[in-house]
Amino acid sequence: MLELVTRGDAVIVKVRVQPKASRDAIVGEHAGALKVAVTAPPDKGKANKAVVELLARALGIAKSNVELVSGTTSREKTFAVRGASQRQIEALVSGTA
């Protein structure tokens, strides 16, 4: 189960990133984090940008509403998401979003 926390108007989401994957996709859940695969390499922030774009597209929100909070150079990242509810984010795991 995803570990989500609401802080003010944002939902804090832990994300485990798999860079250089064969496709961009939300794969499921891994140890309380949203598991995301992106085709971008972990080079100069390209994978981070790809994750922001994927999350925004999947949730139907603007990219500016998805902010990387920590984990810039790690596979384990934390994002603050505005404009989406915890329920919408949880639905990404089951593919019902």
Is 42 within a domain? yes
Mean pLDDT of 70-90: 97
Query: Does pLDDT of 1 surpass 60?
Result: yes
Entry pTM: 0.94
Kindly report, residue by residue over 25-63, the tens digit of the pLDDT: 999 999 999 999 999 999 999 999 999 999 999 999 999
Identify the domain containing residue 56 by its residue range: 14-82
Query: What pLDDT, on a 0 to 100 scale, did the predictor assign at position 94?
Result: 80
- How confident is the model at residue 97, as a pLDDT? 58
> Residue 20 domain-assigned?
yes
From residue 52, alpha-carbon distances to 12, 35 in Å are 13, 13
Query: What is the CATH classification number for the domain harbouring 24?
Result: 3.30.1200.10
How many domains does one find in the chain?
Answer: 1
